[in-house]
Structures are given as C-alpha cells and as structure tokens.
Amino acid sequence: MSGMDRRLEKRRWTPRRTAYAVGSIILAVTAVYAWSLIDGGSRLNVKAERTIVSVVERGDFQEFVPVTGTVVPISTYFLDAVEGGRVDTVYVEAGNMVRLGDEILRLSNTNLLLDIMYREAEFFHQSNNLRNTKLAMASRRLELRREILDLSHEMKKQTRVTEDNAELAERDLISERECEEALEELRYLRNRHELALETQKQDSLFRAVQIEQLEASLERMQENLRLVRLNLENLVIKAPVSGHLTSLNAEVGESKARGERLGRIDILDGFKVLASIDEHYLTRVGVGQRGSFNLSGETYGLTVVKVYPEVVDARFEVDMAFDGRGPGGIRRGQTLRIRLELGDPSEALLLSAGGFYQTTGGRWVYVVSESGDVARKRRVQLGRANAFYYEVLEGLEPGERVITSSYETFGDADRLLLK
C-alpha cells in the first residue's frame, strides 16, 4: 500500500439509518399522543391516600335537611298594653312565678279618665232627653184624648139639636136656614173629630219612633261607656295564666304605647322545639312531618305541629313537639341538631356525599377502574340529597367506585393516575 493510500472508516449513521430513526421517533410520539387522546385526554398524577373512594350501592334513601332547634316552653303568653299610659306601680319582678289573676303592674292614663267623665255626662244628658220625651209624649197623648172626648160630647149635643130642628122644620116652627146651620155645625164637629183621631194616630207613631231612636242611641252610649270603663280596668295588667314571668319590660314612670309588648309568661309544664329552616324548603315543610335528634347516645323523635309562614332573613320557623315524653333533664334554651325528614323513604341508587359536589355540581365524577390505579371522568346525573347521600339518576351502576373527596386540586384532568 502506497503512502498516498488511506483506509476509509465505515460510517455508522448513514442517511438511510438516520431517516429510519427519525421516522421511528415520530411514529412513536404520534402513537403515544393518539393513545392519550383515546384513553381520556389530559392526565394527572394523584396520591391515592389523599382521596376518598366510595362505592355506589342501592338502598333506602331518606331525604332530610339538617336544622337547628331551640327548646322553648310548650306555651307562652305575652303581656301587651291594651291601653297606653305611664307605669304607675310594678307589683311583680321578672323571674318570679305568678298565678292566674295576679296583678303584675298598673298604668295610669289621665286622658282616659277625662274621656270616661265626658262620656258619663253625655250619657246622663241623653237619659234626661229620653225621659223628657216620654213625659212630653204622655202629656200630648192626654191632651189629644181630652180634645177627642170634648169633640165627641159636642157631636152628641149637636146631633140632638139637628134632630130637633128637623122636626121643628117639618112643623114649620123654624126656618129651613136654621135647620141647615145646625146640620152644617154637626158636619164640622165630625170632621174635627176625625182629624183629632188621625192626629192622635200619627203623633203616637212619631213619638214611638223618636223614643226608639233615643233608646238605641242611649244603648250605644252605654255600651261605649262600658268599653271605656273596661279600658280603665285594662290599665291594671294581670296574669292571664299561672306560670313563670320570664320577662317584664316596665319601669316606674316609663310611658307605654297601646299594643306595646310588656312581658312574657312561660308555662313550664312541658317543652317544644322552635326550629329555624332555610326559606328554600318553605313549600316542602308542613304539619305532621317528622324529625329526629340524638342526645346522650339516644335518638328521639319530633313532629311538626305548626309552620310560621313569615320569612325573616331568608329563614322561617316551625314548632315541633316531642314524640312521647321526650328526653329527661332537657332545659329551656338548649340547642338541638335535628334531621327533618322531607319525604318517605324510597329505594334508590346511592352515592356518598362529599366535597366533589362543590366543584362538579353533580354533573360529573371520577370513576375508579377495577384495577384501582386510574380514575376517569364520567358524566352523571344526581337527584335528591341529604347529609349523607346523593340519589344517582344516571351514569353509575351498583358496585362502581367513585372519588367523593374534593376535586379542587385536580383541575381539568380527564384521568387521574392513582399512585
């Protein structure tokens, strides 16, 4: 081999090999990308121990709403000022027991006293008017009777004179004119007599109506006077029942308006529960619905006995009575956590409640595969709910496992790789 000759090294990466390698890489990337699209799109690695997985199962679903109730006396009577006035005397302090009819406080009202005096004077004046009208009617009746009696007497006398004149005229002892004058006088007396009788009748009717009106007016005045005197009695606030005077908002010298709340008397023979509920359930809560609560390891039942439809601060209230005697040792003002049932139990497909609902609104969930290493997003439809379960309407089958913990850290991942 001459000095000009050199050994050529064999190339390891020929253009053909390079083309094959690039093509293989592109094909592999494309296959991986296509596989990722087919297998659910974006992925996210998640530690399995940080998730809560629940099994979809079939069972009895009871829709209920958790509410807070307060133990209150079974009966409460409020003390209101029927008539306004100034607090004159307080006989009983708040916190004491009272009996039916006990005087609690007294109000004074000068204007009411003056009004009573005025109405009494008006009543006496009307009574005198009625008395005077009756006397005048009796006197007028006597006068008319006397006038009718006199006319009757004059008619009898004139009748005799007319008859005598008629006989004398037949004998030509008196003139025909005298006979006619006597007859004319008789007619005149008869007309006066009829007029007097009609006057007596009309006057009696008028006087009767006048007296009836005066008596009715007097009765109304008497009733008004009775009511005003009753208001005077109402200035003394008395206990309507026997019980505990829980509160009394009245200080001596303080002015109270008509209808103002003065205090409250509680009947301590038993208790009920006053529960506050979100207005969303107003149309779904009625008398007879049941609830329950746990106390000292035991469960007790409650029944709705009254619904207050007034909504205040987006909530309404109901009265609930204990089933049976209720728990012993319960106290007024004690707070109870109540499960208020909204319907009868029914069989349904159930999914445990969890934080996932705040993210998905119940429209989709992550369903865990049988191997347990992957959870895929799936559309579902959930229905009714209570504090423990959601009712599954579509998208899940019994035995499937679903991540029910919060989805806040999962973003928009279509698949979760559970490590």
Domains of the chain with bracketed CATH: 40-62+345-418 (2.40.420.20), 65-107+244-341 (2.40.30.170), 110-232 (1.10.287)
- pLDDT at position 105, please? 93
Q: Which pLDDT score, from 0 to 100, does residue 37 have? A: 46
For 302-334, what is each residue's pLDDT tens digit?
999 999 999 999 999 999 999 987 787 788 889
Higher pLDDT, 21 or 332: 332
Comparing 14 with 197, the larger pLDDT belongs to 197
Q: How far is CA 22 from CA 12, 15, 35, 127, in A?
A: 15, 11, 20, 126
Which pLDDT score is estimated for 1? 46
Contacts of 156 (CB under 8 A, 6+ apart): none
Percent of the chain with pLDDT over 70: 90
Separation of alpha carbons 358 and 365, rounded Å: 11
Share of the chain above pLDDT 90, in %: 34
Q: What is the mean pLDDT of residues 173-180?
A: 81
Task: Check whether 403 has a pLDDT greater than 50.
Answer: yes
Q: Identify whether the C-beta of residue 229 lies closer than 8 Å to the C-beta of residue 116.
A: yes
d(CA 238, CA 242): 11
Q: What is the mean pLDDT of the chain?
A: 84
**Predicted confidence (pLDDT) at residue 36 exceeds the cutoff of 90:** no
- Of 312, 416, 306, 316, nearest in space to 368 by CA: 416
pLDDT of residue 69: 94
pLDDT tens for residues 331-358? Answer: 888 999 998 988 778 899 999 999 999 9
* φ, ψ dihedrals at 173, nearest 5°: -90, -25
Between 126 and 22, where is the model more confident?
126
Lowest-pLDDT range of 17-31, 149-163, 165-179, 248-262: 17-31
pLDDT for 30 beyond 80: no
